[in-house]
Amino acid sequence: MDNVRATKDMGKMLGGEEEKDPDAAKKEEERQEALRQQEEERKAKYAKMEAERENIRQGIRDKYGIKKKEEKEAEAAAAMEQASEGSLTRPKKAVPAGCGDEEEEESIVDTVMKFIPAPLMDMFNKK
């Protein structure tokens, strides 16, 4: 009996026909169904875990007054739309502090000049 099995295996290795299992299609279908079911269970498990995490995150946000990224983006978009309601052009970008105000720039230069030693001040004043 062992020799018969060995010759069948040799036949398969040499490119012969494999034995056809009459229930192979049914077994494969059951295996695919089991895989689908496992995948659904895994997805449900991770969805439940993510929901629990989101509840914890929301509790932390409520405790410390933090907004979600989506909320911040929505508020920023609403502010941009509100600012440009009557305008035909796109809204201007905000100018950062220290950029563009010449009065402020002069006061910075004056502040720096206070800390320059007298011999160097003379060199600047000669020009």
pLDDT reading at 105 higher than 60: no
> Which of 67 and 106 is assigned the larger pLDDT?
67
38 contacts 30 by C-beta, under 8 angstroms? no
In angstroms, the CA 97 to CA 110 distance is: 18
In this predicted structure, the answer to whether residue 54 has a pLDDT above a threshold of 80 is: yes
With beta carbons less than 8 A apart as the criterion, state whether 91 and 84 touch.
yes
How sure is the predictor about 103, in pLDDT bands with cuts at 50, 70 and 90? low
* Burial profile 40-73: b = 16 or more Cβ within 10 angstroms, e = fewer: eeeeeeeeeeeeeeeeeeeeeeeeeeeeeeeeee
pLDDT at 43: 97
What letter represents residue 37's amino acid? Q
pTM across the whole model: 0.40
